[in-house]
Amino acid sequence: MDFDIPSELSDYLAELDAFIDREIVPLERDNDNIRFFDHRREDARTDWDRGGLPSAEWEELLAETRRRADTAGHYRYAFPPEFGGRGGNNLDMAVIREHLARRGLGLHCDLQNEHAVVANNVGLLLMLEYGSPQQQAEWVEGLAAGTKFFAFGITEPEHGSDATHMDTRAIRDGDGWVINGEKTWNTGIHTADADLIFARTAGEAGDGAGITAFLVPPDTRGFTVEEYLWTFNMPTDHGRVTLRDVRVGADAVFGPVGRGLAVVQHFFNENRIRQAASSLGAAQYCIDRAVAYAKERKPFGKALAENQAIQFPLVELHTQCEMLRTLIHKTAWTMDRHGTFAASEQVSMCNYWANRLCCEAADRAMQVFGGLGYSRHQPFEHIYRHHRRYRITEGAEEIQMRRVAGYLFGFMSSRSPKGV
């Protein structure tokens, strides 16, 4: 493996930065759009009269950013050229995602709802891999442009990360299926064109096989969004839904019948490595800001940076970033060379460590900045609130460690879909 970033990728990062400075930063500052990033006023993102959903103004600003990024040729970077992309691979995306997050918070990359000028649209990759010709004809262009997407309905209130014991069931009904069950944390369901519902269609609880994925439009009879769950970081678009005798046709099946867990694992591996890179970038941003501030701040007549109590914790965090960066690049490179499932163990290592590291870096930056760091005049408390979720939502770090242990102790094969 060559540890140098390919020159064409370095050139692209410069091109991307120029686009952000030329198009996105002015948009962020126009018409008081900065209120969405001024942490004293970030409740402007939230429509409190609609149960805490994202406000229409906030979502339209994100949509305009996506349109500009797509027009400039950046939004579809990771997609194949035939769909308007540049064929970016996992290593490319890991480098880009870290780079965007390391710039700090802004309209170029706001991970609260997975927004970025270079799309992390794993849904399109899944559609190209598992979608039927009919589904691809209906979905591909909208997914590529960021104007159409599906939510992800796997987690259940009673089972959390334990996907193989899900209670949602789908039974055959003539040429179609009838689905009954409940899902939670369906992020983005308020605007989704479909919910990718995972339901047991065969086998017993705990079996990896026998789970099938279905594309279910939210306006289907019997599909109900019961509530939106408020979190540490608002606004919320995390719906709890129920499905009561929801009928779908055979054309709703996404991927092979009974092999839905492979779809889940494919999604997680692709998403987790990119999300780990984003957490790494945010962690490095916090460290960079803390180091710069420690050089400037001079209590008791000397710079904070001269104190080992300030230096050593930041040295440890910076060292961890360097080591993690190498592992992320190696893992992404392995996936590109040998396939999505070739580095599942390493993906879990990257993800749980990056998310934990980001929280520790944000916390340390708060400490270095003192009272100002704890205040909403600096971004660290927002970064902490946001990235704290990923220690749970991308598969709790305990689940990630359990997966690593499964490989380490021989309980899981390298291509096992269990233990998501």
Structural domain contains residue 387:
yes
Same domain, 55 and 100: yes
The stretches in the chain having pLDDT less than 70 are: 1, 413-420
Residues 52 and 184 in one domain: no
Q: Does residue 134 fall inside a structural domain?
A: no
- Judge if 273 and 370 occupy the same domain: yes
Q: How many CB atoms lie within 10 A of CB 366?
A: 21
Report pLDDT for 418.
46
Q: How far apart are CA 394 and CA 389, in angstroms?
A: 8
What pLDDT, in 10s, does the model give residues 348-379? Answer: 999 999 999 999 999 999 999 999 999 989 99
Do 279 and 346 fall into the same domain? yes
Residue 405 lies in a domain: yes
Same domain, residue pair 239 and 299: no
Same domain as 399, residue 282: yes
Domain range for 100 is 7-127
- How many of the other CB atoms lie within 10 Å of CB of 242? 16
Whether 381 and 350 share a structural domain: yes
Same domain, 269 and 239: no
Say whether both 229 and 316 belong to one domain: no
CA–CA distances in Å: residue 250 to residues 130, 214, 253, 263: 15, 9, 6, 18
Domains contained in the chain, number: 3
Q: 48 lies in a domain?
A: yes
Nearest to 404, CA basis, from 394, 391, 414, 389: 414
Rg (CA), the chain: 22
pTM above 0.85? yes
Res 265: pLDDT: 84
- 122 and 101 in a single domain? The answer is yes
- CATH code where residue 92 lies: 1.10.540
Q: Are residues 220 and 91 in the same domain?
A: no
Residue 420, in any domain of the structure: no
